[in-house]
Amino acid sequence: MEWQRSAFDWNQARAFLATAEEGSLSAAARALGLTQPTLSRQVASLENTLGVTLFERTARALLLTQAGTQLLEHFQSMGEAANRISIAATGQSEAVTGHVAIACTNGMATFYLPEILRKLQETAPDLQIEIIASNEMSDLRRREADIAIRHARPQDENLFAKRLRDTTAHLFASSEYLDAVGRPSHSSDIAKLQFVGCEYPERLLGMMASRGLNLTVANFNYSTASVTMSLELIRKGLGIGILPIDVGAAYPELMNPYPDFEPLKIESWLVAHRELKTNLRIRLVFDLLAEYLGAK
């Protein structure tokens, strides 16, 4: 190892990482519990030691320079190593504290997260977890959430993503409803029945037609963006709906009314901003979610 070439100290590196993650000196200073002048001096000392300019200082924000962008990945590796050292030194994840926001659909929040959060509480009881249960996509770059679970691979190169275990969605209806209307034996029978649809049921028509079910908007007497609401409508006998297989199968009163229907593939991704991988509490939550949601 060339010791003379690594003369900068960790506090300077940490100041650079925090500033890059938080986007401003004031936010980074708050995150590290320092004064802004102290943090600014540490960043300036690192720039002086390395002989490069890491940030372009504008009137409204700090922007990473080309040199700063190139070096960021190396400093992130240092941050990850420092986090591993911290965990190894304490031997306990209980030392991890702070707030972590997880954004996901209300279906994911209701049916999958509670058991995972129970495991997380056993591992790191002092964390404060915020669940943003919405079908709207949170903007991780603007820090609307720290971690997101999405059903499409992110295209933003600033985001870090892990593919989760795929699942499928199937048709479900209550036995009560099928007893009342008759059990369909052919796709034409399905077209006579009521459906519980998504927020915009017309978007389902093409997908249903490609699977042999020729429906119209008139089939969808009920529609909702909420999976939990859709589940309750189906359970109450108000129509046929589409549910993730493990959600529908959890209710004995529900059954597949038409097994010939080709299941829908559900793809899931666990996503965080690349810079947040160096944050101990966020990495801990990210890794636990990946473990229990079946990261590939």
User: Mapped to the 3 state alphabet, what secondary structure does 64-127 carry?
Assistant: ECHHHHHHHHHHHHHHHHHHHHHHHHHCCHHHCCEEEEEEECHHHHHHCHHHHHHHHHHHCCCE
How many angstroms separate the CA atoms of 292 and 149, rounded? 13
Confidence of residue 151 (pLDDT cuts 50, 70, 90): confident
In which residue are the tokens 């010939």 written?
Answer: 260
User: Distance of CA 151 to CAs 109, 267, 268, Å?
Assistant: 14, 5, 4
Q: Are strands 167-174 and 254-255 parallel, antiparallel or unpaired?
A: antiparallel
Using one digit for the tens of pLDDT, what is the confidence trace for 43-80? 999 888 888 999 887 766 778 888 888 888 888 888 77
How many angstroms separate the CA atoms of 127 and 121, rounded? 8
Q: What local confidence, expressed as pLDDT, does residue 118 receive? A: 92
Using one digit for the tens of pLDDT, what is the confidence trace for 245-278? 999 999 999 999 998 999 999 999 999 887 666 6
Q: What local confidence, expressed as pLDDT, does residue 199 receive? A: 75
Q: Please state which of the ranges 63-77, 80-94, 101-115, 155-169 shows the lowest mean pLDDT.
A: 80-94
Q: Return the closest-CA partner of residue 22 out of 39, 9, 5, 38.
A: 39
Average pLDDT over residues 7-15: 81
Q: What local confidence, expressed as pLDDT, does residue 193 receive? A: 93
Q: What is the mean pLDDT of the chain?
A: 84
How many angstroms separate the CA atoms of 115 and 230, rounded? 22
Greater pLDDT, 205 or 89: 205
